[in-house]
Amino acid sequence: MEVLEKTNYDNMVDQIKDGKYMLFFTADWCPDCRFIKPAMPEIEQEFSEYKFLTVDRDENIDLAAEMGIMGIPSFVAFSDGKELGRFNNGDRKTKKEVEDFINSLN
């Protein structure tokens, strides 16, 4: 999974203006993020129409604030630079919950 370097909202949208992207907001210290990380390669493979980008919430605290990301892990889907939906809360997320979220976007 590619890492989104430190950026702001406008630059991020410019970077993802073509295609489908899934932003995965996470942090090294977050136990719920560590819980879902082992399932991420399988989720990425299952939903290969999306390019998954890891966003370190601490490194991108301003971006997270601009986007209203208060809890992690959180997922935000984009298509051609426009937000499709988000799974944004501070709860632990299972592989099935993430899959259900992505399936609900279609």
Q: Which residues are catalytic?
A: 30, 33
Q: Where are the beta strands (DSSP E) in 35-73?
A: 50-56
Tell me 90's DSSP state.
Answer: S
User: Token pair for residue 55?
Assistant: 């966003």
Find the helix or strand (DSSP H, E) in which 63 lies: helix 61-67
